């Protein structure tokens, strides 16, 4: 009984879709093309954004948004956090696509935004699978060109899918948790009634993994992110943001440069190296064969939890960034950082505190 009650409580507390949704889906009568009515959509041309409705294997119709980048080599499939939808996330999607030079697919879980149905753990798995299949069928996007990005509760469906795709390009976990039950209680073993058992699935992921977590996260303690990183087979230099909470990591100056560095490394990594035999063998191989400069972000030791130090370039102010001077990497980082800084208040105002805030709910129960 206790297990069933806990499972039911966790499932109910885990999902907080914005009510009402932040957007509506409208169809252009002349073209038949769907658009999202959110005001911020005006920042991009229609031909760069595709709004779709996708049927899941569990019978729900979810809304997805595909942002095209003209020079993209990779596509990010982004699973957002809890108390938000793709209308509210659009400005973040737009910035990531633009500054990381990637196509980006965002989608709403069942029961979120204008997606039908009710949210649940199993529904989120069907939802991300539907979005993934749409990318493959519509654009022919291969696994080797897909990066899964899971933020907070989105780490659940992202890890579920990643564990089943041996040729996935990469995985980003943003403020992830070990499991639903472990957010609420300190337990050492998994129980059948737990939800989103990320701690078990991370060990099945073969691709490179980047973990981003704030040191002052009061909703999901940073220990969750650190343990998931430790358990990753192919770990990339993590980003532990000093002073970061659960809801504001996008505003830190280190955030975007670190993602850019990660994607740059992923683009250069030969596909055959994605399937690793053992961490120890790879560490030896890296020492013998790889250029240290090219592999500086890859971690060989399974027990290294050094915090990321911000780089000088990412902190410098670009005085003449509006002039007609040639662009360089530092200018790009600064423009990206400034762009995200300007979004700070907007992000907070639309409740992008996106996780199952179960600790407070349990405490009040």
DSSP secondary structure letters along 112-179: STT--S---HHHHHHHHHHHHHHHHHHH---GGGEEEEEEGGGHHHHHHHHTT-TT--EEEEES--S-
Name the catalytic one among 98, 224, 246, 258.
Answer: 246
DSSP 49-89: EEEEEEE-TTS-EEEEEEE--TT-S-EEEEE--SS--HHHH
ω into residue 135 within 30 of 0, thus cis? no
Helices 86-100/329-349 angle, 10° precision: 170
**51, two tokens:** 């709004």
The answer to whether residues 191 and 181 touch, using CB atoms and an 8 Å cutoff, is yes
Active-site residue (options: 217, 221, 331, 334): 217
- Yes or no: say if 142 and 169 are a contact pair by the CB < 8 Å rule: no
Q: How far apart are CA 335 and CA 322, in angstroms?
A: 9
Distance of CA 91 to the CA centre of its chain: 15
Full 3-state SS string of 260-286: HHHHHHHHHCCHHHHCCCCHHHHHHHH
217 is catalytic: yes
List C-alpha distances in Å: 150 to 90, 174, 205: 16, 6, 14
Among candidates 262, 269, 311, 310, which has minimal Cα distance to 290?
269
The shares of helix, strand and coil residues in the chain, as percent rounded to the nearest 5, are 40, 15, 45
Q: Is 152 marked active-site?
A: yes
Options 97, 152, 179, 232, the catalytic residue: 152
Q: What is the dihedral of CA 129, 131, 137, 142, to 10 degrees?
A: -80
> Is-contact 152 354, C-beta < 8 A?
yes
Which residue in the block uniquely carries the two structure tokens 């996935």? 168
Q: What is the maximal distance between C-alpha atoms in the chain?
A: 68
Helix (H) or strand (E) holding 201: helix 198-201
Catalytic positions are 152, 217, 246
């Amino acid at each position: 009984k206790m297990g069933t009650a806990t499972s039911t409580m966790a499932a109910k507390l885990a999902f907080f879709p914005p009510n009402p949704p932040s957007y509506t889906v409208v169809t252009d009568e002349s073209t038949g093309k769907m658009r999202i009515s959110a005001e911020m959509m005006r920042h991009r041309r229609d031909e760069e954004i595709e709004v779709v409705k996708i049927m899941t294997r569990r019978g729900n119709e979810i809304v997805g948004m595909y942002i095209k980048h003209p020079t993209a080599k990779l596509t990010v499939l982004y699973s957002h956090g809890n108390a938000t939808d793709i209308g509210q996330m659009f400005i973040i999607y737009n910035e990531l696509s633009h500054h990381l030079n990637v196509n980006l697919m965002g989608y709403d879980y069942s029961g979120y935004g204008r997606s039908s149905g009710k949210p649940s753990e199993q529904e989120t798995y069907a939802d991300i699978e539907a979005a993934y299949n749409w990318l493959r069928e519509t654009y022919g996007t291969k696994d080797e060109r897909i990066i899964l990005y899971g933020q907070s509760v989105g780490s659940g469906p992202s890890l579920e899918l990643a564990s089943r795709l041996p040729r996935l390009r990469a995985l980003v976990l943003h403020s992830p948790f070990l499991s639903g039950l472990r957010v609420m209680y300190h337990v050492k073993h998994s129980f059948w009634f737990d939800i989103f058992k990320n701690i078990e699935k991370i060990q099945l992921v073969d691709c490179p993994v980047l973990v981003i977590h704030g040191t002052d996260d009061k909703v999901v303690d940073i220990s969750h992110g650190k343990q998931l990183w430790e358990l990753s087979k192919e770990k990339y230099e993590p980003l532990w943001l000093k002073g970061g909470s659960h809801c504001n990591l996008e505003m830190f100056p280190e955030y975007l440069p670190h993602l850019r560095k990660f994607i740059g490394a992923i683009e250069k990594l030969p596909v055959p190296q994605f399937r690793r035999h053992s961490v120890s063998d790879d560490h030896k191989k890296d020492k013998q064969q790889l250029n240290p400069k090219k592999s500086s972000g890859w971690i060989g030791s399974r027990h290294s939890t050094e915090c990321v130090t911000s780089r000088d370039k990412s902190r410098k102010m670009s005085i003449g960034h509006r002039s007609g001077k040639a662009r360089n990497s530092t200018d790009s980082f600064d423009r990206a950082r400034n762009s995200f800084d300007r979004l700070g208040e907007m992000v907070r105002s639309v409740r992008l505190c996106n996780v199952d805030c179960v600790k407070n709910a349990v405490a009040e129960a």
